[in-house]
Amino acid sequence: MKQLSTKVTSNAHGQDSSYFLGWEEYEKNPYDEIKNPNGIIQMGLAENQLCFDLIETWLAKNPDAAGLKKDGQSIFKELALFQDYHGLPEFKKALAEFMEEIRGSRVTFDPHKIVLAAGSTSANETLMFCLAEPGDAFLLPTPYYPGFDRDLKWRTGAEIVPIHCSSSNGFQITESALQQAYQQAQKLDLKVKGILVTNPSNPLGTMLTRRELNLLVDFITSKNIHLISDEIYSGTVFGFEQFVSVMDVLKDKKLEDTEVSKRVHVVYSLSKDLGLPGFRVGAIYSNDEMVVSAATKMSSFGLVSSQTQYLLSALLSDKKFTGTYLNENKKRLKIRQKQLVSGLEAAGVTSLKSNAGLFCWVDLRHLLDTNTFEAELELWKKIVYEVKLNISPGSSCHCTEPGWFRVCFANMSEETLDLAMKRLKEYVESTDSRRLISKSSHERIKSLRKRTVSNWVFRVSWTDRVPDER
């Protein structure tokens, strides 16, 4: 008699992906400047550790929030008792205003249309349960975050059909790629319920262009399907660019409060912009009342604690703090990203031009022995076990071109990042040297063979001439 469910006994979770296997290897041998200087440096984890000092300073100045007090009086009992799944109104209001601030106050968010969830993982899965039946499909542009194979499919039974994007145009979404993905789903007899994108992109570290966003909205309008825009990196856009949300496009196209707007849903989290993944704060924003109602009920399975909501409502309500934080966060991200790019260039390595996120999409195709995903995995193993850097291979992100890797830069100190680049440079130089020696040896052998053949031909030819000359 079978005692465990198929979900338990199958490997559909995706834990055997090289993305997760790299984490496991890091955990066996983690780098530490003092205790383990030869360990593996974690560059496969998209954490934002650059602005903890700002948050810790705020906490020191606002002891009531961290101490669960209000006007100097303890509200521990009030927060410790049962809270329903709608969440604290003051927190949802503060979160909505923070989301507006990130978008330059060009769009507004109604707190009543926000559903709280235990992180974006829970939020995305909840939307899958709300929008798709088991066996229905969502289209996702490649490369995409490896965890989506778990988040969107494992428990919901939904399917993912890739929208294949190419390095020839910077991995941007095109109309032909959208049409091909939709047609592929039809060939597989899958009902397409929507498209899910990350904006800014994980793993590319780029924002979707207005052209792409307009294309997506027009496409879901024509096909009568949904669009989920995962915008958890919206506050990480650095440089002179402003983040452009799908909500901006709906406003520009005068589609607010229309049937189309009811099929556009935004996912947000404080894990990346504030660097608080351990707090488990995610959110769904939807204009569809039925989605909001159902998702709110489902949130019972992954609530955000009242204590967390109380603390963060105080922090996000401090407009002076949020304004300073967002500006400083962008400055520090830009500096750290430039440090990574400069280190890569010093090693003879290029990357996709990026303007957001906590990582770069790095081109190591010139280090592949062959242009295959097998060669990519062999290179990844060498980088993990020999170079001692955990980076994420493009194949784990379903990239269609071997040799691309996601490399994170915001979860370590400047010194650790410098060391990582030093290790990579030494590996690239040693690889280039080996290849040069191998090429030189090959050329010498080839030249020797050519001379040997030429001498043989000369001798044969001379012998043939002798009888004629007699």
Which residues are marked as active site?
Answer: 145, 230, 232, 272
- Rg of the chain taking only CA atoms, in angstroms: 27
Cβ-based neighbours of 54, under 8 Å, separated by 6 or more: 321, 324, 325, 328, 329
d(CA 365, CA 295): 43
Round to whole Å and give the CA distance between 171 and 243. Answer: 18
How many CB atoms are closer than 10 A to CB 366?
13
Q: Which residues contact 53 (CB under 8 A, 6 or more apart)?
A: none
Q: Which residues contact 55 (CB under 8 A, 6 or more apart)?
A: 274, 275, 315, 325
Instruction: Extract the tokens encoding 283.
Output: 């959110």
Structure tokens at 141: 């542009």
